[in-house]
Structure 1
Amino acid sequence: MPKVNVHNMLGEQVEEIELNENIFGIDVNHDALHQVVKSQLANKRQGTQSAKTRADVRGGGRKPWRQKGTGRARQGSIRSPQWTGGGVVFAPKPRDYSFKVPKKVKRLAMKSALSSKVLDNEIIVLDQLSLEEPKTKEMAKILANVNAGKKVIIVMDKKDINIVKSARNIPNVQTALVNTLNVYDILKSDSFIITKDAVKKVEEVYA
């Protein structure tokens, strides 16, 4: 079973815990990670881009000049793509880019993402994380104490408005609950900070 050190908010090691091997110690499945991240990014796309084809552009109903005898190239419409003001070839139209990934693949990808953080030593477990009032300066101190990277995700077992407000003004720092955690956010972070209670909840959910 993988073991990690538990730190307090001052960055001091207070204990060592064992993580569930079936969640934090599996072989990373890169194919599952790719599918889920691709799905997440595709589902975010609005798909509202649109341009007009030659059929949509106004005008161009009459043949500009006769087919033969003018010495010029034959033309059928002044709204053909080669004309200024003409339609667009293969113009994009509104569409839905989203696609679904099987639940088993999603679950495997989540476990792979969590395991990758353990393998890369990018997981930081805190015994607790709490502030008496929203203070960005205090949150910045905590991140400095635990040597957090540039991109940080803080995972909590329950919503703490003081933590959320303290972290939201720090660039590249985001907060999440266990039930809102997703693969893309985990992978793009340099430091995966999670409370000890949140670890237990993750192990309950994905066991």
Structure 2
Amino acid sequence: MKVQVLNLDGSNGAGDIELSDDVFGIAPRADILHRVVTWQLEKRRGIARATRERSEVARTGKKFGNQKGGGTARHGDRAAPVFIGGGKAHGARRREFNPSLNKKVRALGLKMALSAKAQNGLVVVDSLDGVEAKTKALMGQFGKAGWNGKVLVIDGDAVNESFARAAGNLVGVNVMPAVGANVYDILKHDTLVLTRAAVEKLEARFNG
């Protein structure tokens, strides 16, 4: 699949680039994408902490008072839930959200997400070099290119520092290196911008 390389202002760049059909030419499947996105969001969740119940609080185990004759309830120890500092009755249980997903399914999901953007919403630029570290200037270039909505820009090994600084205050624009490419972020954005280096890294990621 050949794609025209563009500049950041939307004008035609130097030549075109050949995208691998094994990475950018797969027919997307909603069930695979759903599994990978669900797995990603579950992995983000922290551990749900448990509350301490009657057997877990640090209170004396001595019987509170006499069984009869005291004129009050027949309490046992101070760990009862009715006392301040006592255990929680029917407390929350510890839960860990750490689902597993086969590596092949994860890789297939990323390929399908890239392929979905290749059909509609993929832009390939030569590089992010030469960008002035000014938000207003970068916003003007994006306006000329017509990249509205949410834009995800993926670079090679490391993101160009000037570009990252300029894009830092742009609402809806996110930047990441190729190693951080993931299904959720790709699908969440309207436009996916890849540099030549990012394309090489992503293709090598699956071919290696």
Bin for the TM-score computed over the shorter chain: 0.7 to 0.9
Q: Give TM-score scaled by structure 1 length.
A: 0.76
Q: Which residue of 2 aligns with 1:4?
A: 3
SS in 2 for 1:23: helix
Q: Which residue of 2 aligns with 1:155?
A: 154
**Which ranges of structure 2 fall in alignment gaps of 5 or more residues?**
64-79
**Identity within the alignment, %:** 34
Aligned 1:128-143 pairs, distance under 5 A: 128-131=127-130, 133-143=132-142
CA pair 177-117 structure 1, distance change in 2 beyond 3 A: same
CA pair 43-135 structure 1, distance change in 2 beyond 3 A: same
Q: Could you tell me which amino acid in structure 2 is paired with residue 125 of structure 1? A: V
Q: Which residue of 1 aligns with 2:168?
A: 168
Q: What is the CA distance between 1:111 and its match in structure 2? A: 0.3
SS in 2 for 1:148: coil
**Which ranges of structure 1 fall in alignment gaps of 5 or more residues?**
63-79
Q: Deviations over 1:26-85 (max 9, x none)?
A: 1113222222211111111112344566877999xx9xxxxxxxxxxxxxxxxx99xxxx
Q: Deviations over 1:65-114 (max 9, x none)?
A: xxxxxxxxxxxxxxx99xxxx99857343x21012211111110110010
| Equivalent pairs, count | 200
Structure 2: distance between partners of 1:54 and 1:139: 60
CA pair 115-132 structure 1, distance change in 2 beyond 3 A: closer
Q: Could you tell me which amino acid in structure 1 is paired with residue 142 of structure 2? A: L
CA RMSD of aligned residues (A): 3.3
Q: Could you tell me which amino acid in structure 2 is paired with residue 193 of structure 1? A: V
Aligned 1:100-119 pairs, distance under 5 A: 100-119=100-119
Q: Give TM-score scaled by structure 2 length.
A: 0.76
Structure 2: distance between partners of 1:25 and 1:183: 16
Q: Which residue of 2 aligns with 1:37?
A: 37
Q: Which residue of 1 aligns with 2:144?
A: 145
Structure 1: distance between partners of 2:151 and 2:91: 41
